[in-house]
Amino acid sequence: MANPAETRRGASEEGRARGLLAALLLGALATDARAVDTMPVDQVRPGMKGYAVTVFSGDKTDRFEIEVIDVVRDYLPRQDAILFRSADPRMIHSGIVGGMSGSPIYIDGKLVGALAYGYRFNKDPIGGITPIANMLAVDALPYRPEVLPHTPRIGGQARPGAAAWADAILGLGVTPLPPRRRPEELDPVGSLTPLGAPMSVSGFGPGATRLLGEELGLVPVRGGSGRAGADPDAAAKAAPKRWQGGDSVSVVLVRGDNAAAPNGTVTWVGGRSGERLLAFGHPMFGGGPTSVPIADARVHVIIPSVDRSVKVSSPLTVRGALIQDRQAAIALRTDIQAEMIPVTTHLVAPEPELGARTYRSEVAQGVDLTPALVASLLTDAAEEGAPDAAAVMAEITHIINLETSKGPRSVTIRDEYFFDRGVELRAVGRARGLLVLRILLDNQFEVARVRGVEQTIKLAYGDAIEEIEEVRVAQSEVHAGDLLRLEVWLRGRRGERRRELIDVRIPDDAGDQEVQLQVTGGEQARPYRPLPRSLDDIIDTLEATYPARSLVVSVYREGEGLSTQHGLLDSLPGSVLESLSIDGSTRGPVRYKQAARRVLPTAALIAGDHNLRISVLPARATP
């Protein structure tokens, strides 16, 4: 066995020589993708030797040697995997490194593919190569700016699409448990797994970082600065970048005061002026057509790990856009710029001495991606504002500026939460404004263009919450037309009880009927709304809520109304109601029980939902 030191030196020298050759070769190839000499996977044999190109530190590429172990046929659908081993001492020390995804691998000077897979907890630097032919197929896919990518890996919802957010906003079928684990997480050791793109994060606290990593399914690496790239002037002044295989590349998900940028390596450069890049050798989210900024990156260091070593990197300057996110590669274009959404996050911390703080960032666009990234910014502010375990009230306001087909509008969503043992970040991440953001991007009518989000979290120590303990009706007989006095007993967190007297008018025509009285908090009751005909209708419905700090008293009647796309039809005569309730169709107006409501402002949040059914006697005889 060779002396490691000699081997390292030898590899370094050979690497420099071959690097020069490769630079020349890639420089030439960069002007025309078809000039790249590639080796089909069929020609790859066990024992073949070659090298990989990647950045170990800084922004200069380097090489390490590899030897083909074997070829695994159909490792993925219509995609083989080439197993290799590296004898490079650096690789023996660190194993296959997250962030090397996409590192081009050459055998006999021909591009074989990209380093893309590895084994976790591996003892030897054994990895997998995605064949270049599969990657080039991704390059052939067009840029689709009209598509907002839907990335099923994000979020872990039990039900797809609109059903999921409707469940969440109505409080149905939601669970405080974290998302289910993805299959690749269940058996991390037994098979080749994508190296993944280590996501450099900065400006995020540990809790928000963990949630962001969980939400996106990426390994967060704290320590990489993300400020670069946020300044458009700096980007304009930056020298043009001439990309080459092995360069470090970051996908910019968040930039500004907070930053998150998964990092990997460029495999292939093509196009007439080197504007077409392929990287990673595996998907990032697998969202297909995408439009997210990319930046060149500087590698600070490789952190060796028993589990998986990662590169710590920072994005430098935005250089283009990720346009396709597919099984075999991500496709990048340097001649296309991707829009980001500005997000301003205000924090009013419970300690006045901390003062109000404002963070300005931009997030990438995507049906699931944008809400997840905006949520991460909010949870970060919440974490910063109240990292302790004291009882705290959180008032969250979202102002979302958007455009629908009917023009620009602004949506304001407010909600309030009580946390008895410190802010629960996961709950903050499900704030109603964030759900609304998801609705705007994923509904049955149209995809709204989100122009900006301003979110504010005001935290205050305290427990301004009361639970409805009892609702009592003093009258033994209730007649139609009576003014009914309800005694509502409320209990605070410290056990203090108070009584609220609420007068409710029983409708004049409710004689001989049963009515249901409901007393609940403003968060638990929803105003009746008609069937939506457009996204704007849905937004109107979302904005129509009762204040969180209110008691809502509803009197439900036996009579029914109809909710239609043209409005609510209340108090319909029986024959009209029946005639308009279409039996022979799977679609039609939606029936509802008529209700009269009183909303009473309260000083505290109200929890609980009490219902009383009352048999109403005929109206009292007029004297």
Cβ(165)–Cβ(442) below 8 Å? yes
The smaller minimum CB distance to other proteins, of residues 346 and 526, is found at: 526
In 10 A of CB 603, how many CB atoms?
A: 7
Q: Does 470 bind other proteins (CB under 8 A)?
A: no
Token readout for 122 is 């591996």
Taking CB under 8 A as the binding criterion, the range among 50-58, 141-149, 248-256, 586-594 that sits at the site for other proteins is: 586-594
Shortest distance in whole angstroms from residue 558 CB to other proteins = 5
> What is each CA distance from 34 to 42, 325, 514, in whole angstroms?
19, 22, 79
Subset of residues 500 to 519 that bind other proteins, contact rule: CB under 8 A: 509, 512-516
Subset of residues 389 to 448 that bind other proteins, contact rule: CB under 8 A: 439, 443-444
Q: What is d(CA 470, CA 485) in angstroms, rounded to the nearest whole number?
A: 14
Residue selected from 475, 571, 601, 618 as contacting other proteins according to rule CB under 8 A = 571
Cβ(63)–Cβ(14) below 8 Å? yes
Shortest distance in whole angstroms from residue 396 CB to other proteins = 20
| Phi and psi at residue 311, to the nearest 5° | -85, 135
Q: Does 622 bind other proteins (CB under 8 A)?
A: no
Residue selected from 181, 421, 591, 620 as contacting other proteins according to rule CB under 8 A = 591
In 10 A of CB 58, how many CB atoms?
A: 12
Q: Does 14 bind other proteins (CB under 8 A)?
A: no
Q: Does 575 bind other proteins (CB under 8 A)?
A: yes
Residue selected from 254, 506, 568, 605 as contacting other proteins according to rule CB under 8 A = 568
Shortest distance in whole angstroms from residue 279 CB to other proteins = 38
Q: What is d(CA 402, CA 33) in angstroms, rounded to the nearest whole number?
A: 40
Residue selected from 109, 578, 601, 618 as contacting other proteins according to rule CB under 8 A = 578
Q: Does 526 bind other proteins (CB under 8 A)?
A: yes
Shortest distance in whole angstroms from residue 289 CB to other proteins = 24
Shortest distance in whole angstroms from residue 262 CB to other proteins = 32
> What is each CA distance from 292 to 208, 339, 408, 444, 593, in whole angstroms?
21, 7, 23, 24, 47
Cβ(280)–Cβ(114) below 8 Å? yes
The smaller minimum CB distance to other proteins, of residues 396 and 439, is found at: 439
From residue 163 to residue 182, the character string flagging contacts with other proteins as x (rule: CB under 8 A) and all else as - is x--x--xx-x----------
The smaller minimum CB distance to other proteins, of residues 230 and 568, is found at: 568
Q: Which residues of 441-469 are buried (b: 16+ CB within 10 A; e: fewer)?
A: bbbeeebbbbeebbbbbbbeeebbbbebe
Question: Among 316, 203, 331, which Cα is nearest to 270's?
Answer: 331
Shortest distance in whole angstroms from residue 511 CB to other proteins = 11
3-state helix, strand, coil in the chain (%, to 5): 20, 40, 40
Q: Does 7 bind other proteins (CB under 8 A)?
A: no
The smaller minimum CB distance to other proteins, of residues 291 and 554, is found at: 554
Q: Does 566 bind other proteins (CB under 8 A)?
A: yes
Dihedral angle at the C-alpha atoms of 17, 19, 20, 21, nearest 10 degrees?
A: 90
**What is the total residue count of the chain?**
623
Q: Does 580 bind other proteins (CB under 8 A)?
A: yes
From residue 114 to residue 153, the character string flagging contacts with other proteins as x (rule: CB under 8 A) and all else as - is ----------------------------------------
DSSP string for 438-491: HHHHSSSS---EEEEEEEEEEEEES--EEEEEEEEE--S--BTT-EEEEEEEEE
Q: Does 90 bind other proteins (CB under 8 A)?
A: no
Q: What is d(CA 104, CA 296) in angstroms, rounded to the nearest whole number?
A: 16
Residue selected from 352, 583, 603, 621 as contacting other proteins according to rule CB under 8 A = 583
Q: What is d(CA 568, CA 91) in angstroms, rounded to the nearest whole number?
A: 68
Shortest distance in whole angstroms from residue 366 CB to other proteins = 21
Q: What is d(CA 201, CA 313) in angstroms, rounded to the nearest whole number?
A: 9
Q: Does 495 bind other proteins (CB under 8 A)?
A: no
Residue selected from 301, 558, 618, 620 as contacting other proteins according to rule CB under 8 A = 558
Cβ(104)–Cβ(55) below 8 Å? no
Subset of residues 597 to 616 that bind other proteins, contact rule: CB under 8 A: 613
Q: Does 538 bind other proteins (CB under 8 A)?
A: yes
Subset of residues 213 to 242 that bind other proteins, contact rule: CB under 8 A: none
Q: Does 162 bind other proteins (CB under 8 A)?
A: yes
Shortest distance in whole angstroms from residue 466 CB to other proteins = 24
Q: How many residues bind other proteins (CB under 8 A)?
A: 60
Q: Does 588 bind other proteins (CB under 8 A)?
A: yes
Taking CB under 8 A as the binding criterion, the range among 29-37, 262-270, 364-372, 536-544 that sits at the site for other proteins is: 536-544
Token readout for 62 is 């380097």
CA pseudo-torsion sign 103, 107, 109, 113: negative
CA pseudo-torsion sign 410, 415, 421, 425: negative
Q: What is d(CA 527, CA 514) in angstroms, rounded to the nearest whole number?
A: 22
Q: Does 560 bind other proteins (CB under 8 A)?
A: yes
DSSP string for 13-66: HHHHHHHHHHHHHHHHHTT-GGG--B--GGG--TT-EEEEEEEEEBTEEEEEEE
The smaller minimum CB distance to other proteins, of residues 143 and 592, is found at: 592
Which residues are at the interface with other proteins (CB under 8 A)? 162-163, 166, 169-170, 172, 439, 443-444, 509, 512-516, 526, 528-532, 538, 541-542, 556-560, 562-576, 578-580, 582-593, 613
